[in-house]
Structure 1
Amino acid sequence: MVSGRSSYAAALGLSVLASSLLSVRAYDNSRSDNVRIYWGQNSYGATGSNTADYQKNLSYYCQDDVINAFPLAFLNVFFGEGGEPSLDLANICSTANDPVFEGTQLPECSFMASNIQTCQNAGKIVTISLGGATGSAGFSNASQAEGFANTIWNLFLGGSSSTRPFGDAVLDGVDLDIEGGSTEYFTNFVSTLRSLMNSGSKSVIDAESFDAVYVQFCEHTEHPYNNYCGLTNYDNSNDWDFSTWDNWAKNTSPNPNVKVYIGAPAASAAAGSGYVDAATLGQIAVDTRNSYSSFGGIMLWDASQAYANDRFDAAVKSSITENGNTAPAPSTTYSSATSTATATPTTAPAPSTTSTPAAPSSSPTGSAGDCAGVATWVANVAYEGGDQVVYNGNLYTAKWWSYADTPGGSAGDWTEDGACGASSDATAVKVAYQSKVAPTNVGPKVAAVPNLSLSSALAAQTAPPSRRNSRFFRY
């Protein structure tokens, strides 16, 4: 499957499944009580001290019927040493702790083959997630994108290569979490991969056909890129726009059977904000399913957090299953005016749960060009929308959540407010919120919380939902 998640940056999770494979496995994409959960980044290890709850081998999470799908996070480098991609699966397999194929930085994780196959034999699907918050993603032209699709096919799916990271295990699809770099030519990547899947033994957002979309909802239109922010405002119709995505699924998506998932953190420590307990999330899911036939289930970040949080995944699954997975909700009709909206969700990185170095607690109150009391920009600090920094003598304001994107750079994360006055005093301000820092070799290796939305470059192909406060999750 090719999946894409809607992070707030391609944190839109999109999912393309191998149709021939699904016919012989228990996974059923047409259901409305599926649970998909990310595995690979040991998110609990970033915030918790109990080593017993650190991420386990994949098969550990496949011993019951709760979880239906696992995106393996992440393939975080597209073109590395030797022209090959690279993987980082935190404390399980990475370049820091495992051997690599000669002439590359692609870790040799073939010991995971039996784990993957165990989960697949139990009726789960396992996909490879591309990108992540620290991922280096992007293509310079259509030919490179199409070539990379063949690389992914040969390394992880139905092709062949002498450098397959997971040995003889054949994954079920691809998850897109493109939070950094350019999203140009991703439609070429997806269409080529879909062709390979359809022609093989296994089988962008608007331009290509996906099987599932993971959506994250944001309640603050002035800060539309804060992760997991909409669930707490579910009762406010202005902040909960699942109908927009239901409309997209029925009137815009090339796949009329696409499923839309609600993305959520599996523990309060798994995201900066927006966590709701399992009972509340389950009720939101049931209410949404009863209203919209495109609803497919719940997507969670991540497996280690869910298990440490009293099996949050199992509690949610129980809620959406016990309340009945009956006939789909009545079909909803949308006016042409609604279905032809042209604005697209803007994408931007989502905050991680890795560590907590210094970062401004709030935006300074100085006017444009007034740098008094404003901190100098620091590369390894995560900034929120509205935060101000000084860089090269100029004042900048963050448009949204930003990490490691230089003010004035091509990423476009910052608005330049003018040159600082001669009397400016760029002093540091107190530590207040979590920021994302590259993992160290001390303690568990972790990575950032994935984003949940699709990139504007992909989304612009046919105009997905126009509400700025929506975000996609992947798959």
Structure 2
Amino acid sequence: MTLSLVVRALFATLIGAQVSLVRAFDNTRYWGQNSYGAANSGDAANFQKPLAFYCQDDAIDVFPLAFLNVFFGTGGEPSINLANVCNPTDNATFSGTNLPNCASVGTDIKTCQSKGKIVTMSLGGATGSVGFSSDSQGETFADTVWNLFLGGTSSIRPFGDAVLDGVDLDIEGGTSTGYAAFVNRIRSHASGASKQYYVTAAPQCVYPDASLGGVLNAASFDAIYVQFYNNPCGLQAFDSASGWDFGLWDNWARTISPNPNVKVYVGAPASSTAAGTGYEPIGTLSSIAVQMRQSFPSFGGVMLWDASQAYANGRYDLAIKNALSAAGGTGFTFPACSAAYASGSTYTAGQQASYQGGHLWTAKWWTEGDTPGGSAGAWTDDGACASAGPKQDATSRPRVGSRFFRV
């Protein structure tokens, strides 16, 4: 992601007690970087609007604010940049820091929260000056974030008395040092809090993620917004012989993640100008999202980059939310696994086999010696099958409309 406005889908669980708050497939939109304005400078009418503008209907449920883009800046304090709404260049900053005073955004945050929306602080971005040298530094920074944005106290809170609902890690460079410690410290603060807090991340679709792969395996996340754009495994690869790897992320969610209830979102560009690759017309994205919902138990919803792009593109966000709702909330049921894949055997088009991770695979064409998920791309991952876990029915599967499945 670039430093721009984003809408993301979010499933969340209570940070402290890890209690799932499953309501439905939700829409998440990043807000803060005026992505549409950056790509369409002549169309000022569609530049990023105040946060409260996007909270007026049910299209979006979760708003990560993009971004806290500097971890250790002037005076040792972090900084945020919300593009045309609030940034250190055009707004007053707290004395001795480069941290802007965004009181009007704080009012909007409380307005959105009063309408049942979740608002979190996203850390990083593609051009962020971020990173830690040690676990200790990560823990200390978690204390700072807690005091500036969440349930702590400070005299330099950018959003005044507004209390955000959690943090999101959009880390796209540097090492993974300190991030697991950061997450664990945030959760430690939240465990005794009087409200719910959430931790999410936005890895690239290439598995494992170069910056966050180890962190995702070492700390508990409530949702991940996988960026299926600007990558070879993006949405443009969905019908290709190889590349689309949602199944790998589903397997990670159910068998590797410290939180087995973590939800995986399809991150998508909200218009053709929102990313270099990965944008698909709403009909195509809707079809893909519904297929993921029907095939993978970890699917949580759709994340869009970003709010300004979605709104300018004919309410792309509302269209995908409606598509998921129309698909119904009848739930996911594991299909029966076929016989296990036999190495060296010959398979013809349409034949099925189960393979590592309890997934069902279908051969695309005649193949011999090409393992499911291999580089030859001879197989389609049809999702989890019965051996992957207990049966789920309509009462145990999140229903459309639940609080934390958002586009």
Does the pair score TM above 0.5?
yes
What does 1:242-261 correspond to in 2, within 5 Å? 242-261=246-265
Verify: 1:312 aligned to 2:323, yes or no: no
1:272 counterpart (263, 272, 276): 276
Q: CA deviation at 1:239?
A: 2.0
**SS of residue paired to 2:177:** coil
Verify: 1:230 aligned to 2:234, yes or no: yes
2:154 counterpart (144, 154, 161): 161
Verify: 1:210 aligned to 2:221, yes or no: yes
Aligned-residue RMSD, C-alpha: 2.9
In the alignment, which residue of structure 1 is the partner of 2:362? none
* Unmatched runs of 5 consecutive residues or more in structure 1: 219-225, 341-474
What does 1:26-105 correspond to in 2, within 5 Å? 29-48=21-40, 49-105=42-98
Question: What is the alpha-carbon distance in structure 2 between the residues aligned to residue 206 and residue 159 of structure 1?
Answer: 28
In the alignment, which residue of structure 2 is the partner of 1:361? none
Greater relative contact order: 1 or 2 (C-alpha under 8 angstroms, separation 6 or more)? 1
1:323 counterpart (321, 324, 327): 327
Q: CA deviation at 1:120?
A: 0.9
Identity %: 55
2:120 counterpart (114, 117, 127): 127
2:304 counterpart (300, 313, 327): 300
Query: How many residues are aligned here?
Result: 321
Deviation track 1:46-78 (CA, whole Å, cap 9, x = no partner) reads 111211100000000000011010100000100
Higher mean C-alpha displacement, 324-333 vs 246-255: 324-333
Q: CA deviation at 1:131?
A: 0.6
Aligned partners of 2:36 and 2:309 also within 8 Å: yes
Deviation track 1:378-428 (CA, whole Å, cap 9, x = no partner) reads xxxxxxxxxxxxxxxxxxxxxxxxxxxxxxxxxxxxxxxxxxxxxxxxxxx
| CA pair 252-14 structure 1, distance change in 2 beyond 3 A | farther
In the alignment, which residue of structure 2 is the partner of 1:345? none
**SS of residue paired to 2:243:** coil
* Unmatched runs of 5 consecutive residues or more in structure 2: 198-214, 341-353, 359-406
Question: What is the alpha-carbon distance in structure 1 between the residues aligned to residue 92 and residue 255 of structure 2?
Answer: 48
| CA pair 338-240 structure 1, distance change in 2 beyond 3 A | same
Question: What is the alpha-carbon distance in structure 2 between the residues aligned to residue 159 and residue 106 of structure 1?
Answer: 17
Aligned partners of 1:228 and 1:271 also within 8 Å: no
Q: Which runs of 4+ in 1 moved over 4 A?
A: 12-23, 331-337
Question: What is the alpha-carbon distance in structure 1 between the residues aligned to residue 284 and residue 107 of structure 2?
Answer: 36
Deviation track 1:6-48 (CA, whole Å, cap 9, x = no partner) reads x9xxxx999865458999xxxx852452111110000011111
2:172 counterpart (166, 169, 179): 179
Deviation track 1:166-195 (CA, whole Å, cap 9, x = no partner) reads 001100110101123332111111111111
Verify: 1:289 aligned to 2:290, yes or no: no
Q: CA deviation at 1:235?
A: 2.1
Question: What is the alpha-carbon distance in structure 2 between the residues aligned to residue 333 and residue 172 of structure 1?
Answer: 40
In the alignment, which residue of structure 2 is the partner of 1:408? none
Question: What is the alpha-carbon distance in structure 2 between the residues aligned to residue 244 and residue 141 of structure 1?
Answer: 30
Q: CA deviation at 1:118?
A: 1.0
**SS of residue paired to 1:148:** helix
Question: What is the alpha-carbon distance in structure 1 between the residues aligned to residue 295 and residue 105 of structure 2?
Answer: 40
| CA pair 148-20 structure 1, distance change in 2 beyond 3 A | closer
Higher mean C-alpha displacement, 201-210 vs 284-293: 201-210
What does 1:404-419 correspond to in 2, within 5 Å? none
